[in-house]
Amino acid sequence: MTEWTQVLAAADAAARWHVADRRKGQAKEPYINHLIEVAHLVGQATAGGDPALVSAAFLHDAIEDQGVPAQEIARLFGADVAALVVEVTDDKSLEKAERKRLQVLNAPKKSARAALLKLADKTSNLRAVAASPAEGWPAERRLAYVAWAREVVAGLKHDNAWLAAEFVHAADAAEAKIRAEA
């Protein structure tokens, strides 16, 4: 497989694995929209130079949300892609609050590539908080979510100024929108 056909294979697998999945926001977008956005962000951030990272972006929620085994991702897409997905996967056996605490604690331990993937994921999530907030989330809860995302991102070690700026822009815009509506 060429590199770009492997990226398309990852997009295809992601579309199938998340076929019944919707985003939490009131627009109830297909989940694949989020995966494409994250893949696009890491692709832009690396100027197309890291196709395995783009594949991992398509697959980054497959273990956590769809229970796809890491071994299956390794078999289909190789050990490098699988390792990246594992690096950004939370332990779902833990309580939500504990998972969120661990994301802050573990952010500085991520490899630079996994850090970029997490940064892209958080950027996409904050854009969604502004564009299509989850139903029933009061302003306070949405602001707390933005603050937590900023905390996770502050710990990530990478050298991508462009994606860092995209994140800050998304976080600032989300806060401004929430405050304007409150």
Binding track over 105-124 against Zn ion, x by CB under 5 A: ----------------x---
Binding track over 26-65 against Zn ion, x by CB under 5 A: -----------------------------------x----
Binding track over 61-100 against Zn ion, x by CB under 5 A: x---------------------------------------
If the CB atoms of residues 118 and 142 are measured against Zn ion, the closer one turns out to be 118
Measure the CA–CA gap between 67 and 61, rounded to whole angstroms: 9
User: Active site includes 64?
Assistant: yes
H-helix segments, the chain: 3-17, 31-45, 51-58, 62-66, 70-77, 79-87, 96-106, 112-131, 139-155, 161-181
What separation, in Å, do the N-terminal and C-terminal C-alpha atoms of the chain show? 51
CB of 182 to Zn ion, least distance (A): 26
Tell me if 111 sits within 8 A of 87, measured CB to CB. yes
Closest CA to 58 of 8, 108, 94, 93: 8
If the CB atoms of residues 7 and 57 are measured against Zn ion, the closer one turns out to be 57
Pick the catalytic residue: 21, 29, 64, 172? 64
The residues annotated as belonging to the active site are: 64-65
Give contact residues for Zn ion (rule: CB under 5 A).
61, 121
